[in-house]
Amino acid sequence: VNAWARFERREVGPEEFCALFRAEAAALGLDVDATRILAGLHGDLRPTMVEALKRCGSRFRTALLTNNVTPLADQEVERSDVLEVVSLFDVVVESSVVGCRKPEPAFYELACERLGVEPSACVFLDDLGVNLKPAREMGMATIKVGDPATAIDELSGVLGIDLG
């Protein structure tokens, strides 16, 4: 298990993560400062995806599955837009809270259990193919998110509703 996986499960703290990550990188012949990587972890919201989520939420139950290093409840979130988006989900499953992470099947199973649905009734979206594979193997429809407009079109097709 690598440093990222251990960090996202809260098995190690930031200092130990940085040391482990640096050692893993060194074993590959790289000199990487993990503190700089940690500083850049926060991504930007995609407004068109948020609007599609709102439309889905009015008709379907939704879940956020996130590999994170600090539980959302413990974060000092200064951006109200992030809190607003998180509040749109019926269920939030966080690796730092539950002790497992994508792409571990248990993570997806927990989300289905909390939603009260079978995997075959789910559509899972992610930007990483490695995270889509276990969801697909469980019977979920999957959509790789690269371009938001393309992902929304695909989701519209799977759900049979216009999200655009």
List where CATH 3.40.50.1000 sits in the chain: 47-159
pLDDT, tens only, 67-121: 887 766 666 655 567 778 888 999 999 998 999 999 999 999 999 999 999 999 9
- What is the CATH T-level fold of the domain 47-159, as seen in this structure? Rossmann fold (3.40.50)
pLDDT at residue 133 greater than cutoff 70? yes
pLDDT at 33: 80
pLDDT, tens only, 60-73: 999 999 988 776 66
pTM for the complete prediction? 0.78
Q: How many Cβ atoms are within 10 Å of 29's Cβ, its own excluded? A: 6
Give alpha helix (H) positions in the chain: 3-8, 14-27, 34-39, 47-57, 80-87, 95-98, 105-115, 129-137, 148-159
pLDDT at 41: 61
